[in-house]
A and B are shown apart, each in its own frame.
Chain A
Amino acid sequence: MPRRIIALIGLLRKETYHILRDRRTLAVITLMPVVQVIIFGYAIRTDVEHVRIAIVDPTPDPSTMALRGRFAATDTFHIVAVLRRAEDVEPLLQRGDAQEALVFERDFATRLGRGLPARVQIVVDATEPNTGSAIQAYALQVIQQYEREAGAARPAVQIVPQVRMRFNPTRESSNLFVPGLMAFVLTIISSLMTAITLTREKETGTLETLLVSPLRPWHIVVGKVAPYLLIGFVSVIGVIIEARLVFSVPLRGSLLLLLAEGLLFILVSLSLGILISARTSSQRVAMFGALVGTMLPTMLLSGFIFPLESLPWPLQAASLIVPARWFVSVARSIMLKGIGITYLWRETLVLMMMAIALLGLSTASFKARLD
C-alpha cells in the first residue's frame, strides 16, 4: 500500500510540473476568475450611470430651474437638451439621444405657488425594461427629495407613485450578484481545467500508458483533481478578496466556512470536468462539453441571474442537480446573512454527495474502458 502512495505522489508531482511549466495557462486559469468577475460584474450590474435626460420646460421660472438644477447636480443624470415644446422630445427619444425626458406641465410654477398639485411627466425609453425602470426610479428620487426639501406641507409636486429602488443601489445589486458570479466563474474554470488536461493526455496517448500500468483508476482521478484543487482554491481566495475590495460585498459570516464551501464547490466542478473528459475523446469536444455543461445551467438554473422562485416547476426541479445552485445559496447566506454551518448543512451535504457521486462516476468510467 505505501508503494501505491508513492506512485500516487509521483503522479501528483508530474501534474504539478505540467501546471508550473505551462506558465501562460497557469496565469490564465488563476487570473481568469478574478478578471471575469470584474467584467461580468460591471456588465450585469443593474445600476445605471450617465443617464441622458431631456427636459421640457414650457414656462421656465425659479421653481422649475431649481428642480432642473437638482438633476444637473447628480452624477447619474446628464442633461442633453432643454426644450420648450413636448413634441420636440419625441425624436430625441427615438434616436436614443435621450433615454428619459422630464416634462413640466405648463404653469408648473403658478400651480405650485397656489399650493395646487403641479405635475411632472416622466417619459422613459423602456426598450430595455430593467434599465427603464431603474432610470425612472432615479428621476422619482430626485423629484421627491426636492419636494421634501422644498418644505411644502401639501404635496407641491404630484407624481405617479411607483415601486422604487433605493437611490444608490450599487451595493445592493452587487451583494446579490457577486456570490452568484463567483459560482459561475469558478465552476466554468474548474471544470475546463480538468476536462482539458485529461483529454490532452488522451490525445497524446499518455493516458493509455497510465491505464496499462498497475495504477488504479482512482489514482488517475486523484492525481488529476488534487493539483487543480489547489489552483481552484487560489481562485476562490482571489474572488472573495475581489468581492470585498471591488464590489464592497460584506462578509458577515465565517471566512473559514466560506473558504471550505468554496473548496468543496471547486471539487465538485473539477470532478464534473473529469467526468466530461472521461466520456469524450477530443479536447475540443471536452471543452465544449464543459462549457455547455456548466455555463448554461449555472447561468439559468442557479438563481444567479434569474430567481429560482420565478422559474416554472420543471426548471426548479432541474436546478436541484446544478451544483452552483447550492453554492450560490451557501455563499449568499454566509456573505450577506452571516449564517453558520448549522443552517447550511443541507446544502453542504448535497455538494458533498455530488462530489462523491461525480468522482465515483468518473472512476467508474475509467473502469468501463476496461470492461
Chain B
Amino acid sequence: MNGDAAIVAKDLTRSFGRFVACDHISFDVRPGEVFGFLGANGAGKTTAIRMLTGLLKPSGGQATVAGFDVYTQSDSIKRHIGYMSQRFSLYEDLTVAENIRLYGGIYDLADAAIRDRTASMLSRLGFEHAAHEFVRAIPLGWRQKLAFSVALLHEPRIVFLDEPTSGVDPVTRRQFWEMIYETAAAGTTVFVTTHYMDEAEYCDRISIMVAGRIGAIGAPHDLKRQCGVNSIDEVFVRLVRPAATQPGSEA
C-alpha cells in the first residue's frame, strides 16, 4: 500500500442485505490528482463515496483517506476532507457571507480566519459585491463555484465533488473545471463524480464502476487506447452495455 496516497481502497465492500452495492473495489488516488469516479446510476458510486467520506461503514475491506482509517478514524477524516454534494450544499435563505461563516464555524476556524478567508475567497471569485446577497438570489453557476470554494474553506487535503456540474451551462462548466485544476495544482486532491463523459477526459485518471465493481481504471488516453476507441463515452458504453464483452478484465 502506498503510504503517501490520498485515498487507498483495498477490497472495499458494502452490502445492503443480500445486495452488494460495492463489491471488493480497490484503487488508490494520488495526492494532487484529479480523480474522476464514473459509473452508471446504481453502479455503486454513491455507496463508495459515502464510505470514503465517513457517512457509511464498510462491510469489509480496508480504506484510508488522507492517511486515516475509515473504520477507526472517521472523525479525523471528516476534518481533512471537503465535500460538495450534488444537490448543492449552501443554504439558500442565508447570505453568501453567512454561509461561509456557518461552515467556517463548523470546521472550527477562528473568527479572524473566517473573515480573512471570506475576503480572499470573494475577491478571487469576483463576488465581493454579493457578500450580503441571499444565495437563492445569485445565479446557479455562481452558486456552484461558491459551494466549491466553501468546501475548500478549511483547506482540506482531499475534496469530494459529487456531480458538481449537473444542470450547469457549458461556459460555467468550463470555468468550474478551471477551478478544479487550480485546486489540484495547489496540492488538494480532487475526487469528482460526473455524468458528463467529456469531463472525464479532463481528469488525470478515472475509474469506471460497473455493477458494484471497478470495470476500468487508468488515465483517459490509456483507457481509450486499450479499448481501441476515440472517446471515454465509447469506453463507458462498452463497459456498461451487457451485450458487450467484459473489457474490464482486459484493462
Please list the residues of chain A having a beta carbon within 8 angstroms of any beta carbon in chain B. Answer: 3-4, 6-7, 9-11, 13-14, 17-18, 21-22, 203-206, 208-215, 369-371
Contacts and interface: CB of A to CB of B under 8 A. Distances in A.
Nearest to B74: A370
Contacts of A3: 108
A226 B103 CA distance: 19
Given A14-B94, A370-B56, A370-B74, A206 B106 contact: no
Contacts of B88: 204-205
Contacts of A209: 83-85, 89
B194 interface: no
B102 A11 contact: yes
Contacts of A4: 108
B185 interface: no
Given A17-B98, A370-B57, A370-B74, A210 B87 contact: no
B106 A11 contact: yes
B94 A214 contact: no
A214 B106 contact: yes
A213 B107 contact: yes
A305 to B, nearest CB: 39
Nearest to A2: B108
A304 to B, nearest CB: 36
A215 B92 CA distance: 21
B91 interface: yes
Most buried by A among B86, B104, B106: B106
Given A204-B87, A204-B88, A209-B83, 13 more contacts: A9-B105, A10-B101, A11-B105, A14-B94, A17-B93, A18-B94, A205-B85, A208-B85, A208-B87, A209-B85, A213-B106, A370-B54, A370-B57
Given A7-B105, A22-B93, A212 B83 contact: yes
Interface string B68-101: 0000001100110101111111111110001001
B81 A212 contact: yes
Interface of B: 53-57, 74-75, 78-79, 81, 83-94, 98, 101-108, 160
A208 B105 contact: no
Most buried by B among A10, A208, A209: A209
A10 B102 contact: yes
Given A17-B93, A212-B78, A7 B108 contact: yes
A210 B87 CA distance: 13
